[in-house]
Chain A
């Protein structure tokens, strides 16, 4: 992993470009594959793009939720702390599949007819809430790891509590929290497959459909697994490089 250490910025660019090329270019080599993969190449590519999109949306929202709830758990205002504790307790204590089904079937009953949301949005919301709860604990640990002296120095210099948080505490806590957040993101790539249950046509759903039409589960699921492996590899490379990038000025 030395080359990642030495050029993290280039590795990040490389992983992103590689991911984009893979998502929009994979149909070309796949279409040359024998039946039943060849004729389903476009479907696999489209399903992969949905999987990645779902991961990125839920992943980014999940980080924001994690930071807010992580702060909330450390808040001096008890009701906010209780709310965040309850949220983490609820999400971590129930199955993800149930959460996805709940957002898809139960939430529309609360909403007026004009505000109905798509299957994809339901999956994104449920996944974001789920990964957000796991991120909360990582962010909380990260914030607690920032030495009190750093906060005192910032406050003594006249920085406001918000400036102290944004300029000092958040960047330093992210350095600590990032490996765990990256781990959650890698899990999210795979957890997004549960969206197939609410008929989102992502990668697993594509695989399921193609094998159902062709009665050839082995090549279809092997192809699906390979695509997932390439996606998770791209994501972990990206986050490993980001970790190195943020690791400046730290003792090793």
Chain B
């Protein structure tokens, strides 16, 4: 954690628990994230890392504990939820572009509906964002006509169109063919330097080490390590983290 440590807190999770039936997915997770921080969340599958990310914009409702985003408590109050979702963007593993809408319309829909932006303004913004992710000439195509990597870059542009303060990435490269991973990581790398708060659940250890300010290791529903990437990769505290690293280490 560098200069961002002194910055304002934007996400505060305290003692968050989540059950799926009898499965205890999150066992009292507490963490705070400051503005502008880039956090990589890693861990074995089923460790609760994606669930934790999804509780942050209430795609999963947590059972107990408190979550505050930008000072607003995340609870059943729909007003709070709407306010939070406007500020928190999300990029999914399987892209989830709206299949019946053109690329342009995918990006303009939320700004027009939620931010009440007029069409010309929304389209100009969408085209600028598409340009930024290197897809300026694909605006009128449909998602199915694009490759996985291109779709994920559109999904990032779609999230950015709402000017979120926080961007959540849920395994953004896991559904991609290997040769497409880098084009998405390139966009994420560029974003990390713009000062947006990013939380990325990822299996890309190279990316985590190179780009993240902070690294969180999840195991069995708890945060086992919360440290810098450098520390985690060179000198992890826990045996579980060492085992995990040994398993993922090949290839980077």
- With an 8 A cutoff between CB atoms, is B49 at the interface? no
Q: Could you tell me the distance in whole angstroms from the C-beta of B31 to the nearest C-beta in chain A?
A: 20
Within A129-147, the residues touching B (CB, 8 Å) are 147
Chain B: residues with CB nearer than 8 A to chain A?
57, 59, 82, 85-86, 88-90, 92, 94, 96-102, 109-110, 113-114, 142-145, 155, 158-159, 162
**CB neighbours of A172 from chain B (8 A):** 98-100
Nearest chain A residue, comparing its CB with the CB of B102:
A249
Nearest chain B residue, comparing its CB with the CB of A148:
B96
Chain A: residues with CB nearer than 8 A to chain B?
147, 149-150, 152-160, 163, 167-168, 171-172, 175, 246, 248-251
**CB neighbours of B158 from chain A (8 A):** 157
Q: Identify which of A156, A159, A171 gathers the most chain B CB atoms within 10 Å of its CB.
A: A156
Q: Could you tell me the distance in whole angstroms from the C-beta of A205 to the nearest C-beta in chain B?
A: 42
Q: How far is the CA of A168 from the CA of B97 in the complex (A)?
A: 11
Q: A150-B99, A157-B162, A158-B82 are in contact. List 8 more A-B contacts (CB 8 A).
A: A147-B96, A149-B94, A150-B98, A156-B85, A157-B158, A159-B109, A249-B145, A250-B100
Q: Could you tell me the distance in whole angstroms from the C-beta of B250 to the nearest C-beta in chain A?
A: 31
Task: Give the dominant DSSP class at A's interface.
Answer: helix
A149 engages B144 (CB within 8 Å): no
**CB neighbours of A248 from chain B (8 A):** 100, 142
Known: A149-B92, A172-B99. A155 touches B85 (CB 8 A): yes
Nearest chain A residue, comparing its CB with the CB of B59:
A152
Q: How far is the CA of A23 from the CA of B96 in the complex (A)?
A: 46
**CB neighbours of B109 from chain A (8 A):** 157, 159, 167
